[in-house]
Structure 1
């Protein structure tokens, strides 16, 4: 190993956020995004922020903190900081029982509620869409069901606070291994492989599905959301675990305002509305219906 490589390793090992600077960053993220960063997350956050240190040509995390808090750097850096520290864990067909329930019960029941309409438009919102895996999973499930039933249409909205993951959702290009959970029949219908594969095996969602999904940036901590108030199903899975109880309740209440009567809110299996003031009928594990 060269001396320069050793120096880089030693530099990274010695380069840390002070307790004061970590608290300032954690407080900023908590206030603006709602995500809580306890001291145990400091090493993880340092690792992510070192990429921003390099991108800005700064010598250390101390210099990065000074750039944020002692100059006007935070104004330009805010979206990059949020992108860096937010967790964007997602998979295609994650917690698949929710998609089975959507296909077998929720969509038929929603259509029945609107039996007077000819081919009603179902609006589905992936409220923490990350790279788009959940939104495009929904699109695959609903496109198959729409082809079978021919009695509804659908549109999907994906929102996230991270501009980086939203850009990937809009491109709809994914490493091939990430699509392993997609059932073979759906993979054949909805995934495109490059004619001339590059160094990294990738696939793209077909344009027929991409046209049915749009992405927009949203901070769930905002006081209002600039979206329709007749949404049929909102997915908010594995996000509330990063918020404290008070913020969880506020987010849920705001989202419920955007559901039509009879619409559904779907949380992650590890999440609950116990202890909140939200009153909805539970119809399945982590699935709630608005009266």
Structure 2
């Protein structure tokens, strides 16, 4: 049976509100949760961006859910710090935490003032970081010099249950390459044919672990309201790579998506006022071979979405 989880978007709500939302989601029947890890939101309309790692401690302590986070060691974060942060959560909440480690976006990484590297360098850098983090989770003292530098780093709290390190991927090529190191794969809703190709490439290259899909959804009592919510809050998120990786400020995203079309928006967000339509589309994603679906309602008022989907959508998908 496909697990249905809740996505907490730090770009769109205060951390205290998100904590209440994820607690409500658990009570309503969502089985797990994941969150974003941003320094800046995608747009000024979203307007928030708290520190995900602090929030995760509170969320894990006040629910029974398993949590994941999408993060990017290598520039904004030194890999030894991510090793320590992830190990601490794994020690406190064994078996309940995973991290998806990606190559990052300039939106979050530009704050260091370091140059934004090309994609191939970022890919090599994240693979170095994953190796460093794994070795530290195993109790090694690590010294490394490459795209990142580590000097005699070791952890003094070693988790008995190692947190899975999952690969976030948008392309077939990244999914295939990630199979060499990842404990699972996570991506976002795209055309079903492309998602099927990504899963085939990952599994075909020996990829292990669970396949996870984050699904952006917009629901409201009317189709027009659902469309307006998506446009207002997620219209700036319709850019494709590499543009989405390389822009540096929320205002850059706003300018680049000023004339976003409804067709483009619907290709990014699952928009419908009909809960049966949402259930059918989610079943189709599950049928592709995804083990876990994390639903991200792109509006800010999460309670109506949580209650409606818990009653009408989750049972149908399951």
Structures share fold, TM-score greater than 0.5: no
User: Please, what TM-score do these two structures have when normalized by structure 2?
Assistant: 0.31
Which structure would you say has the larger Rg?
A: 1
Give TM-score, length-normalised by structure 1: 0.33
